[in-house]
Amino acid sequence: MIKKLFLVLVVALLPGLALAAAPGVPLDNMEPDHTNKASLQRGAATFMNYCMGCHSLEYARYMHVAEGLDISDQLVEENLIFTGAKIGELMKIGMNKQQAANWFGNAPPDLTLESRLRGEDWIYSYLRGFYKDETRPLGVNNVVFDNVGMPHVLVDQQGLCAVKPKIGQKSSIDPLSGNERNAGVCPEWASEGSMSPSEFNTAMYDLTNFLSYMGDPVKVERERLGVFVLIFIAIFFVFAWLLNREYWKDVH
């Protein structure tokens, strides 16, 4: 009996082990904040402008994003929908998966649940992890995702790092030059971007925050409700206890 129980316990713990063993690369930490609507709105704008050409969010509808992010339907229709879709539609894209796989080696996956699959740390690190690598077909590689098929779509904003960016390492300011431009993840640039490293970090924080929200849009509401449920249980406990005492009063 004990042996059987032990076996059940081991099997139940297996998925946890598999998850814990997953990442081999060090990652930068990213704490999502779904109550920061301004951050989510900026992230959504970046996503629609730079990512949705290739990645869909096809398990979500535009109108729910509009509602959740406090953006009016009209603003979303005029400024964030580039596919000609209606506000009530799913956030699909027109790219043909087969063709895309021919172009990039792999088809760009749907990203609705990406934050659930990889985690926020991974996405935040990945987006800042591109670097110049002439041996790759598109001239770039990624420290978090080796031999990635995705082009460095934000190269105009971030610039192109000449060496592997220092993702997941505490201090990365160049001690010799102390150069401002060298602060952040990249010690040496092949080309400069329009944003400073800290501006780019903020933009990628917002974008990751948005993808985190897409993977779990009801998180804030769920946690808010959870508090009330606990308060209810606490109050209910008092009455249950009083009733119990009443029932057993005369039994000795």
Residues that bind ligand HEC (CB under 6 A): 50-51, 53-55, 104-106, 108-109, 111, 114, 117-118, 123, 126-127, 148-151, 153-154, 207
Q: Which is nearer to ligand HEC, 147 or 191 (CB)?
A: 147
β-bridge mates for residue 91, sequence order: 57
Query: Closest approach of Cβ 55 to ligand HEC, in Å?
Result: 5
H-only helix segments in the chain: 2-20, 37-46, 62-68, 73-79, 97-104, 114-118, 120-127, 155-158, 197-215, 219-248
Query: Closest approach of Cβ 29 to ligand HEC, in Å?
Result: 17
CA distance 72 to 81: 13
Candidates 30, 32, 37; CA nearest to 167 is: 30
Helix (H, G, I), strand (E, B) or coil at 233: helix
Question: Vertex 93, ends 92 and 96: CA angle to 5°?
Answer: 125
Q: Which is nearer to ligand HEC, 116 or 224 (CB)?
A: 116
CA distance 87 to 66: 9
Helix (H, G, I), strand (E, B) or coil at 60: strand
72 and 66 Cβ atoms separated by less than 8 Å: yes
Q: Which is nearer to ligand HEC, 117 or 235 (CB)?
A: 117
Q: Which is nearer to ligand HEC, 68 or 114 (CB)?
A: 114
Cα dihedral 22, 185, 43, 100 sign: negative
Q: Which is nearer to ligand HEC, 43 or 184 (CB)?
A: 43
Burial of 21 (0-12, 13-18, 19+ CB in 10 A): exposed
Query: Closest approach of Cβ 236 to ligand HEC, in Å?
Result: 44
Query: Closest approach of Cβ 60 to ligand HEC, in Å?
Result: 15
The closest residue (CB) to ligand HEC is 51
Q: Which is nearer to ligand HEC, 79 or 102 (CB)?
A: 102
Q: Which is nearer to ligand HEC, 26 or 105 (CB)?
A: 105
Query: Closest approach of Cβ 238 to ligand HEC, in Å?
Result: 49
